[in-house]
């Protein structure tokens, strides 16, 4: 099947069309350049920084499935940009956008190769270029894997359809080495041969052999696992994934069912082929109910673009125009909604990464770090990757404050603690050399010597820490200290639901009585401390009426402590 020939004067229009699509896309998504790295981005940057070129080449040619989920093409993107751009974010987005726009050109070429006229080819290309379900694929480098996988699959399809079926094996292999949904291409090629091709089944056999090899390996690795990446071949799993993706593909709850109705109604085999390709290119995503992301429609949208192109061919141009006059603004409005959330997460991530960088730049010798919370959009592997980026020493030990490993690390000679105050978006740090004395008091907003905390403390929040029903801390009683003060944040919600907070104070197990916090404020109460020698004491705060919030927080809370410690009376 050859491209239709047009007069030379008409050949300029595809170029004008692509330029206009690219301009509109870049204008609509210009905010992506103000984003920042996600936890997966940071982890990929750190994991690939020490990898050699030989590692990537060996993984690229290895016919075995990677047990560590190493994808040499996608991870190569992080390796190269990490070497060139470091933590400068814009180049990562620039490459992501460049590859997406290349895919837009390839989709246009594919639709023309399949025989679509310029109206249909333009309609299918527009649908692929601006689909809001793939917002993350336009804004987040971590989904470069999906975008680049589509590039290789499109190249493989174009080569196959032009008769270069052996040569097409190269981009197909690269597509699988970029991301696993590429495994579905042989099924798409079989559908093509059956519905529209020349029934040359043997040409598909090499593709099927590759897919079968990787599929069998995946099934073997899948046995005995039970996490979000476990393939679940059950009706319940498929119903869940179908409900999710059918609601994303046409931007309305379960609207994707209309595509099934269209496949049953239309007699155009090219439309049916496109819809079947859409379903087939979902591949393993149908069986991953624990990994539901709209951006996973990026590769399957190739099939939707094919169906849309040939469906548009049967419609009046005015109807196609009206559809896109409505479709494009709706996508843009939805983009604006997601843009705000994405930039909010990005801003906090950037503040956190830059704050950690400043701290570690001034303390290159630290080898043990406890981290206490982090940005709302960053999980523990992103937090640890941030620290390893700035402190790449292989002997660096990291642990979350709530982890079992943290207690053992607290005994190390030199310890650094990094606590993230989410409300104030600032990093609160503390460090301890072996032999440093305990302080007489602690203010949560400015210092967090967590090695002094015993059982009963939750992570740092907005200048305070919640206690459990009972919380312990070790402090040093200075000479002449006669009072002990505890400052508590009683918020309006807790006040409404609980009324007041009553705290009992114990020093070395001896009760000094209780104090009541009944006003909505950051209020301080003082206890008289009995005479005693200077030295370390164990302080216990006991909340007599534990608080169970009604907002879904499963924790049992005591008091929101902002500061505590001995007060020296002149």
268: burial class by Cβ within 10 Å (0-12, 13-18, 19+)? Answer: middle
The whole-angstrom distance between residue 6's C-alpha and the CA centroid of its chain comes to 45
pLDDT at 290 over 80: yes
Specify the CATH superfamily of domain 451-570.
Galactose-binding domain-like (2.60.120.260)
Q: Report the pLDDT value the prediction gives residue 114, as an integer from 0 to 100.
A: 95
Q: Report the pLDDT value the prediction gives residue 570, as an integer from 0 to 100.
A: 56
- Residues with Cβ within 8 Å of 558's Cβ and at least 6 positions away in sequence, in order, are 456, 466, 467, 468, 469, 470, 471, 501, 503, 541, 542, 543, 546, 547
How far is the C-alpha of 553 from the C-alpha of 559, rounded, in Å?
15
Confidence of residue 29 (pLDDT cuts 50, 70, 90): very high
pLDDT at 8 over 80: no
Q: Report the pLDDT value the prediction gives residue 9, as an integer from 0 to 100.
A: 47
pLDDT digit string, tens, across residues 78-126: 999 999 999 999 999 999 999 999 999 999 999 999 999 999 999 999 9
DSSP per-residue letters across 414-438 = EEEEEEEETTTTEEEEEEEETTPPP
pLDDT at 247 over 50: yes
Confidence of residue 2 (pLDDT cuts 50, 70, 90): very low
How far is the C-alpha of 353 from the C-alpha of 566, rounded, in Å?
35
Q: Report the pLDDT value the prediction gives residue 396, as an integer from 0 to 100.
A: 93
Of 7-21, 139-153, 300-314, 432-446, the range with the lowest mean pLDDT is: 7-21
Q: CA angle 10-15-16, nearest 5°?
A: 85
Confidence of residue 161 (pLDDT cuts 50, 70, 90): very high
pLDDT at 1 over 50: no
Whole-prediction pTM? 0.88
Percent over 90 (pLDDT), the chain: 77
Q: What value does the mean pLDDT of the chain take?
A: 92
Buried b / exposed e over 193-208, threshold 16 CB at 10 Å, is beeebeeeeebbeebb
What is the domain partition of the chain in residue ranges?
16-314, 451-570
pLDDT digit string, tens, across residues 334-381: 999 999 999 999 999 999 999 999 999 887 788 999 998 899 999 999
Q: Average pLDDT, stretch 136-148?
A: 97
Q: Report the pLDDT value the prediction gives residue 465, as an integer from 0 to 100.
A: 92
């Amino acid at each position: 099947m050859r491209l239709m020939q047009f007069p030379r004067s008409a050949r300029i229009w595809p170029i004008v069309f692509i330029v206009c699509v690219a301009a509109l896309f870049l204008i609509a998504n210009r905010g992506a350049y103000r984003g920042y790295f996600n936890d997966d981005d940071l982890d990929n940057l750190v994991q690939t920084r020490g990898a050699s070129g030989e590692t990537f080449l060996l993984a690229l040619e290895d016919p075995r499935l990677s047990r560590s989920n190493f994808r040499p093409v996608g991870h190569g993107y992080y390796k190269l940009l990490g070497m060139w751009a470091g933590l400068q974010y814009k180049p990562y987005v620039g490459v992501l956008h460049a590859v997406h726009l290349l895919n837009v050109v390839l989709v246009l070429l594919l639709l023309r190769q399949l025989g679509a006229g310029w109206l249909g080819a333009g309609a299918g290309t527009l649908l692929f270029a601006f689909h809001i379900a793939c917002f993350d694929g336009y804004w987040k480098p971590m989904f470069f894997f999906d975008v680049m996988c589509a590039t290789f699959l499109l190249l493989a399809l174009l080569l196959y359809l032009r008769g270069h079926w052996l040569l097409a094996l190269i981009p197909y292999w690269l597509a699988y080495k970029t991301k696993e949904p590429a495994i579905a291409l042989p099924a798409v090629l079989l559908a093509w041969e059956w519905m529209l091709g020349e029934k040359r089944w043997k040409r598909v056999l090499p593709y099927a052999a590759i897919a079968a090899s990787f599929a069998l390996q995946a099934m073997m690795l899948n046995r005995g696992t039970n996490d979000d990446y476990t393939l679940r071949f059950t009706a319940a799993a498929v119903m869940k994934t179908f409900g999710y993706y059918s609601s994303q593909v046409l931007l309305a709850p379960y609207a994707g069912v209309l595509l099934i109705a269209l496949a049953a109604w239309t007699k155009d085999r090219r439309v049916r082929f496109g819809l079947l390709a859409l379903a087939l290119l979902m591949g393993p995503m149908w069986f991953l109910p624990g990994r539901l992301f709209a951006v996973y429609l990026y590769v399957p949208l190739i099939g939707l673009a094919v169906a849309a192109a040939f469906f548009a061919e049967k419609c009046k141009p005015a109807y196609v125009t009206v559809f896109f006059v409505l479709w494009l603004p709706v996508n843009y409005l939805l983009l604006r909604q997601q843009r705000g959330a994405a930039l909010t997460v990005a801003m906090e991530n950037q503040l956190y990464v830059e704050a950690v960088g400043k701290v570690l730049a001034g303390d290159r010798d630290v080898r043990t770090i406890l981290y206490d919370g982090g940005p709302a959009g960053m999980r523990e592997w992103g937090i640890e990757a941030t620290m390893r980026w700035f402190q790449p020493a292989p002997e660096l030990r990291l642990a979350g404050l709530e982890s079992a490993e943290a207690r053992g690390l607290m005994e190390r000679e030199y310890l650094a603690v990094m606590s993230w105050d989410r409300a104030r978006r600032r990093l609160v740090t503390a460090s301890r050399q072996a032999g440093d004395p305990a302080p007489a008091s602690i203010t949560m907003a400015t210092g967090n010597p967590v090695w002094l905390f015993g059982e009963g403390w939750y992570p740092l929040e907005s200048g305070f820490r919640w206690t459990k029903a009972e919380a312990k801390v070790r402090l040093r009683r200075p000479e002449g200290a006669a009072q002990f003060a505890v400052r508590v944040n009683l918020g309006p919600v807790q006040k409404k639901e609980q009324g007041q907070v009553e705290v009992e104070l114990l020093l070395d197990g001896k009760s000094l009585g209780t104090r009541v916090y009944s006003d909505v404020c950051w209020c301080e109460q003082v206890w008289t401390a009995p005479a005693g020698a200077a030295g370390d004491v164990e302080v216990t705060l006991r909340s007599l009426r534990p608080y169970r919030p009604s907002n879904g927080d499963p924790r049992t809370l005591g008091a929101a402590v902002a500061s505590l410690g001995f007060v020296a009376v002149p």
